[in-house]
Amino acid sequence: MHPTSTRRGLFRHAAAAWAATGLAFPDGRPNVTHPRATSGDAASEPDWNERLTVTVGPNGADIAGVTERALQAAVDYVAGFGGGTVRVLPGAYTVRNSVFLRSNVRVQGAGFDSVINKCPSVKTRLSADSDWFDQEITLADPKGFQLGDGVCLRATNSHTKTQITLKRTLVARNGNRFKLDRPLRENYWLMGDATAELLFPVLTGENIAGVTIENIAVDGNKANNPRLDGNHAGCLFFQDCHRLTFRRITARNYNGDGISWQVCHDVLVEDCHSHDNVDLGLHPGSGSQRPLIRRNRMERNSQGLFFCWGVKYGLAEDNVMRDNRLYGCSIGHRDTDNIVRNNRIEGSGQIGILFRKERGPAFQGHRNRIEGNRIADSGGDTGVAIDILGETESIRIERNEIVESRGPAQRTGIRIGELAKSIHLAGNRIEGVSVPVADLRKG
Which pLDDT tens digit goes with each residue over 275-325? 999 999 999 999 999 999 999 999 999 999 999 999 999 999 999 999 999
Residues 367-426 have pLDDT tens digits of: 999 999 999 999 999 999 999 999 999 999 999 999 999 999 999 999 999 999 999 999
pLDDT band, residue 25 (cuts 50/70/90): low
* Distance (Å, whole) CA 178 – CA 126: 11
How many C-beta neighbours within 10 Å does residue 280 have?
A: 30
44-69 mean pLDDT: 93
Q: Per mean pLDDT, which range of 28-32, 232-236, 245-249, 332-336 is the poorest?
A: 28-32
Least confident interval from 30-34, 79-83, 100-104, 110-114: 30-34
Nearest Cα to Cα of residue 358 among 325, 329, 385, 392: 392
Rounded CA separation 201/150 (Å)? 9
pLDDT at 43: 78
- Whether the pLDDT of residue 6 is over 60: the answer is no
Please check the confidence at residue 240 and state whether its pLDDT lies above 90: yes
Q: How far apart are CA 205 and CA 287, in angstroms?
A: 17
From 22-31, 33-42, 71-80, 247-256, the region with the lowest mean pLDDT? 22-31
Residue 169 has pLDDT above 70, yes or no: yes
pLDDT of residue 4 exceeding 90: no
What is the pLDDT at residue 46? 85
Query: Do residues 279 and 259 lie in contact, with contact meaning Cβ atoms separated by under 8 Å?
Result: no
E-strand spans in 135-202?
136-138, 150-156, 163-174, 177-180, 195-197
